[in-house]
Structure 1
Amino acid sequence: MRNKFDNCPYCGNTVIKGAMRCVGCGKILQTPEEQIAIIEKLQSKQKFNMNRLLNYIVTIILLGVLYYYFSERLIQIIKNIIRI
């Protein structure tokens, strides 16, 4: 289970991860640039990744080609293993 809370570095009060201000002492915990970077990181996870899909397709095609060329050898190896 993920821990959704952090401790304030100034007063030690428990705050939610990613909070900009501490409720206890009122000090700013993160700069606006850090906050924007966190938001962009979370948004990028929600986007559809075409590169990952393309990598999967290329990998499956390469495995199919390898199996096509080496299928007879693989069948012979499996038969030899079964005999032993």
Structure 2
Amino acid sequence: MNDSFTLGFGGGGFEAALRNWEPIISQTISFVPTLEGGLKGGMNQREIDRGVDGFKQLIESYFSNVALSENRFTRAVRFK
């Protein structure tokens, strides 16, 4: 997702958004250490890109294998 303004929620406001995102965040937070490599060596852009790419791959794998089966989440979150 390149533009955060294209992310929307299926109604219910901020509290509903928190309820929808919490299970996903709690299950994917363990992927964050893949971003650490980009912070080593003085913020080298190549290492930053490598860390972000690794993080994206883990998230994409998660969504293709797990999150899409969680209909409550996929109904509530949409990309415009």
- TM over 0.5, shorter chain: no
Structure with higher RCO (Cα < 8 A, 6+ apart):
2
TM-score, structure 2 as length reference: 0.33
Bigger Rg, structure 1 or 2: 1
Q: Would you tell me which structure has more helix in proportion to its own residues?
A: 2
TM-score, structure 1 as length reference: 0.32
